Structure 1
Amino acid sequence: MTREGHRIESPKDRLTQGIALALLLVLGGLAIVGPSGLLAWGDNLRLLDQRRAQIAALTHERDELKLQVDALNPKHADPDFVGELIRRDLNVVHPDEVVILLDPADQPRK
């Protein structure tokens, strides 16, 4: 120790302190600009909202498909729905029926 009470640092101590400082600066930089840092927070929130909207849409689609599957249960199938599917998918029409084809582009938008 010197007269002022400070310890004289060796080059090894200075190197250790420099490495520790560099590591702290890198970690601080990552906390600000990293993939989960402060600057990416808004983008992550936007992506989260998009994913929630996708989940809601897929849940709705799944529920619609479940209703269709239930309507096609062989034990108690819905005859109206079965007839609609046969006419639509197999182009089966009774002789006394009239088919009106609609162009999807002419349909009103929701």
Structure 2
Amino acid sequence: MRKKSPQPRLAKEAAVQAGALLLLLFMLAFAVAGPSGFLAWGENNRALTEKQEQIRKLAMERDELRNRVSLLDPRHADPDLASELLRKNLNVAHPDEMIMMVH
């Protein structure tokens, strides 16, 4: 009886191990340089900080606008704000008045 050569079996195992190694290397490269990998982490943190700052500014602007709207409510409008808007939009002023725009 003749024994089979172990060469084809070793070649198949080596091919499977090489394939597994390549797959692991690909996964490692993707974990480091992928869109959600370690290299993108710093960029994502910077973008998050920028967005949080933008949200904070927009919230302040929203609060200012909400305050203006409440002051212009027709049922109880603020007389100072109404006077300011009339003078600004209609160019109504007495000759002895001096209007200073403050932003």
- Both proteins in one fold, TM over 0.5: yes
Scaled to the shorter chain, the TM-score interval is 0.7 to 0.9
The 10-residue stretch of structure 1 (64-73 or 32-41) with the greater mean CA deviation from structure 2: 32-41
- Structure 2, unaligned runs of 5 or more: none
| SS of alignment partner, residue 94 of structure 1 | coil
CA distance in 2, matches of 1:47, 1:76: 43
Aligned counterparts of 1:75 and 1:101: Cα–Cα separation in 2: 27
Query: What TM-score, normalized by structure 2, do the two folds share?
Result: 0.74
State the partner residue of 2:40: 40
Provide the residue aligned with 2:80 in structure 1.
80
In structure 2, the partner of 1:107 is none
Number of residues paired by the alignment?
98
TM-score (norm 1): 0.70
Q: Which amino acid is the alignment partner of residue 44 of structure 1?
A: N
The alpha-carbon deviation at position 28 of structure 1 amounts to: 1.5
Equivalent position SS for 2:43? helix
Counterparts of 1:101 and 1:77, CA distance in 2:
21
Identity %: 45
- 1:71 matched to 2:67: no
Residue 67 of structure 1: how far off its partner (Å) = 0.1
Task: Give the Cα–Cα distance (whole angstroms) in 2 for the partners of residues 101 and 82 of structure 1.
Answer: 15
